[in-house]
Structure 1
Amino acid sequence: MKREREEVTTAVDYVKEQDELEREAREIMPFDPDECTYQQGEIRQMVFACLTCSRQNSTPIGICYSCSIQCHASHELVELFSKRNFVCDCGTTKMSETVNGGCRLRLQPESKNGSRSASISESITIKTGISRRISFSTSQSLELPAEDIPGSNSYNQNFSGKFCHCEQIYNPLKEEGTMFQCYFGFECGEDWYHDDCILGYEHNCLSTKELKVESSNGESLLGVNILDKLPEAEDEAATNKSFASFNDSDGEEELVVPHFPSMEDFDVFICWKCADKFAHIFEKFNDNIVLTALPHFEGITSLAQWEELYEKYKSSPAISKSDEPQIKKTKLDDPISKSYFFKYGFKPHLKALTDSQDEKLKQFLLNNSYLYSSDPIYEPPEKDGHASSTGSLLDLGAEALQALPRDQAVEGLQAYDKIRNKLRDFFKPFAEEGKVVTEDEVRQFFSDIKDKEK
């Protein structure tokens, strides 16, 4: 029987792969994680749901960027992107059931009786968005009580790891669709929605033949991750981000949902759930604001079914009982739910409506001024000198060692230098001669080191 071919890679390829992983990690974690945002109160910021602490305390726990690294590194986290008016829950009494649930960035390293607490080493895992992870270690203090007063945050299904109307658990390694965040968020809590779910399809029910094919560098970018093409976070358009898997290949064709507007044509999306709450208000927005308003039909399983209902929708604001579709609706005589897509540059036109004689419209806008005013997302400061864009993860590990007590730091640096030098010596002949190094050879290298240390 033939032996299965062993996977091999050259040392040069290995080094290049590690450099690429480090670059991805720096892009995901570009900021200095040294300050918790709790003291800043209710702000629009990047939020992470800590599923570990949520289970331990039987309540949703949302934390800021810095705490996700410094206090919850070993926990199960879900990145939620931006949320408005959010206060970091780390270290508040919401985490009273979490052992050492105090915020390590806000509390002193000494305990209340003046004694210094013990130190532990935790593995920080950076999810790169691909099926690989990068880890390095840091040291933190124990015996930190959760004492701070929690904020008045609101929580939606995102804090349990679920997204969209289909309530799907988001898995960045398997997700193939495109998702959009609701800019209004009044009813849905700024949830994320699949493009097909927005129109009312059962998620992923459309066949390849039913989807449109458009070029990723042509008129439509739907289906392509545009996170790296977005304006800076302080720009009002920053929330209109794709939640899709990374795909930035010029000229590739993308399968997109028919009748869904091109991402190049609209600035922000507002879901039908939020629009329904103020349907009488949204109907008053003019063409300078709204690019299109698309109906949300429930339980659609084919393109033909959706288009048939769409034709009826266009001829009438509601579907009558005589034209009753084979879908579940609460009231047949209710207006059809609609999602709104606002044009680029809509804010000045929306702000102008604050001078309207329509008191209900005026009051709505004044109550939700972020819809037309500047709505920046807070970002922690970047590392001094932009070190995060040039240093390797091994350098970051060395920086972390500097925060340890002297005896631990010296011991850690010695171990660090030892493994670094040995690894470089091991790969040097492979790289110079262009030879391949197998996984078994790498495993044997580390096994030999362990045997020598026994």
Structure 2
Amino acid sequence: MSEVNSSTEKDQEANSSTDKGCIPSSSCPILEDSGTDGEEDQGVTLVEVLEEQAQLEEDADAVLGGSDDKNCTYSLGYVKRQALYACITCMKNSNGKTQLAGVCLACSLDCHSSHEMVELYTKRNFCCDCGNSKFPSKCSLNPEKSEVNDKNHYNHNFNGLYCTCLKPYPDPHDTNPDDMVQCVICEDWLHGKHLGKAPPSDSDYSEMICDGCMTKHDFLSAYVDEPAVQVTDDAGKEKDSCQLEQWKKKDTTALVQATYWPEGWRQRLCRCTKCLEMYSTKKLEFLLDEQDTVEWYEQKGKSAGINRPSHNDQMMAALSSLDRIQQVEAITEYQSMSNELKEYLKKFADSKKVVRSEDITEFFSKLKERKRQKEEKKNTRFSPK
């Protein structure tokens, strides 16, 4: 699935003239190991470790930063946009019949921590279903809920299937994996090869509307390739002037293919009385809301992450207090721990289980115990007789 990526650089102190030596950087590798046949493993630098950590934090903030991981969102009603999950385990146990349902971030972590979950990324205007009549047990965060949320919209994504090909993501049987793009209207994720028109190679677009939605809402064809315009309050009050009708006079042909829209394209949409009624009838009012976009949601999440102390800053502060040898030892330990943690988390990804806080605690407890045993063995080996 396509992601929004950006990078954050951290200033590095790397003055080799100090007594403590330089903090490992691109010119100061922390690990170097000569390989066989003259090949050399360059190892990993601190800069690379910190950059990877910063990118992981930013990606997590983009998707989850705008969602609450402690409190069920049911009390907020139909949330404008939030991260959602589908519980396959509960769906299979739901009175013997399949019922599509979605749960918020907090419920996925608290009520369904050991279940098989499907990550749905974000969906609009959704009220958390956890614990209602579709589930075998009540929500532990908010037990008092309505039987159903009749305004929620569900599609095959809630069953772990995507695109018109109705395949899971990732598809274990697909020998030629393809990036997926989310349609801004139906919010399904579709493979580029199944869109009728592949995404621009330069990714120079803000949102995509799939061919199915273009066919269903053919009036959108009139806005394709039109220059962006800034809609002012005065323009919105011109009830008798329909921009859509003017563009239709240009003999616009309805497009039966996916379309890719630049940033700000929603501002082109006509806001006359007739068009506003059409949006309401088609349930497309969200297109006029700038806070509906995934971009707005992700920026909100990233902004929330700015106020959180960075792991990178904390690591750099701790390392700066060590001498050169201690720095190398610390980063070596960090790399070893990082590799072990990745292998540990891979088991959860393969089994499609949510990682609980207890699982992380267990991992570090075992890591701490191995380190203690290692130190005891070391002390025994070098203890004087």
- Into which bin does the TM-score normalised by the smaller protein fall? 0.5 to 0.7
1:195 aligns with 2:192: yes
Aligned to 1:275: 214
The letter of the residue matching 1:276 is T
Q: Unmatched 5+ residue regions in structure 2?
A: 1-42, 229-251, 315-336, 342-355, 379-385
Aligned to 1:423: 370
1:355 aligns with 2:353: no
Aligned to 2:110: 70
Tell me the CA shift for residue 283 of structure 1: 2.9
Higher strand residue share? 1
Which one of the candidate residues 202, 206, 225 is aligned to 1:287?
A: 225
Judged with a 3 Å threshold, the aligned counterparts in structure 2 of structure 1 residues 377 and 87 are, in CA distance, closer, same or farther, namely farther
Q: Unmatched 5+ residue regions in structure 1?
A: 1-11, 108-145, 201-256, 291-316, 319-334, 402-412, 432-454
Which one of the candidate residues 342, 351, 370 is aligned to 2:261?
A: 342
Tell me the CA shift for residue 40 of structure 1: 0.8
1:150 aligns with 2:173: no
The letter of the residue matching 2:106 is S
Higher helix residue share? 2
Question: How many correspondences in the alignment?
Answer: 253
Q: Assess if the C-alpha contact under 8 Å between 2:107 and 2:139 holds in 1.
A: yes
Q: Assess if the C-alpha contact under 8 Å between 2:69 and 2:106 holds in 1.
A: yes
Q: Assess if the C-alpha contact under 8 Å between 2:103 and 2:128 holds in 1.
A: yes
Q: Assess if the C-alpha contact under 8 Å between 1:91 and 1:148 holds in 2.
A: no
Aligned to 2:84: 47
**Equivalent residues in 2 for 1:19-418 (5 A)?**
28=60, 33-43=69-79, 44-57=81-94, 58-95=98-135, 98=136, 101-107=137-143, 148-152=146-150, 153-171=152-170, 176-185=177-186, 190-199=187-196, 260-279=199-218, 281-288=219-226, 337-350=256-269, 353-355=270-272, 359=274, 361-365=275-279, 367-374=283-290, 375=292, 376-377=296-297, 386=308, 389=311
Q: Assess if the C-alpha contact under 8 Å between 1:82 and 1:377 holds in 2.
A: no
Aligned to 1:246: none
Taking the aligned partners of 1:363 and 1:421, their CA distance within structure 2 comes to: 63
Aligned residue for 1:370, secondary structure, equals helix
Normalization by structure 2: what TM-score?
0.53
Taking the aligned partners of 2:373 and 2:49, their CA distance within structure 1 comes to: 16
- C-alpha RMSD of matched pairs (Å): 4.6
The letter of the residue matching 1:70 is D
Percent of pairs with identical residues: 27
Aligned residue for 1:93, secondary structure, equals coil
Tell me the CA shift for residue 339 of structure 1: 1.9
Aligned residue for 2:286, secondary structure, equals helix
Judged with a 3 Å threshold, the aligned counterparts in structure 2 of structure 1 residues 172 and 21 are, in CA distance, closer, same or farther, namely farther
Judged with a 3 Å threshold, the aligned counterparts in structure 2 of structure 1 residues 262 and 427 are, in CA distance, closer, same or farther, namely farther
The letter of the residue matching 1:354 is R
Tell me the CA shift for residue 28 of structure 1: 4.2
Taking the aligned partners of 2:51 and 2:115, their CA distance within structure 1 comes to: 25
1:274-322 per-position Cα deviation (integer Å, ceiling 9, x unaligned): 111121x1232252369xxxxxxxxxxxxxxxxxxxxxxxxxx99xxxx
Judged with a 3 Å threshold, the aligned counterparts in structure 2 of structure 1 residues 286 and 165 are, in CA distance, closer, same or farther, namely closer
1:194-238 per-position Cα deviation (integer Å, ceiling 9, x unaligned): 1111027xxxxxxxxxxxxxxxxxxxxxxxxxxxxxxxxxxxxxx
Tell me the CA shift for residue 47 of structure 1: 1.0
1:229-274 per-position Cα deviation (integer Å, ceiling 9, x unaligned): xxxxxxxxxxxxxxxxxxxxxxxxxxxx6xx423532211111111
Taking the aligned partners of 2:258 and 2:306, their CA distance within structure 1 comes to: 43
Q: Assess if the C-alpha contact under 8 Å between 1:184 and 1:274 holds in 2.
A: yes
Aligned to 1:293: none
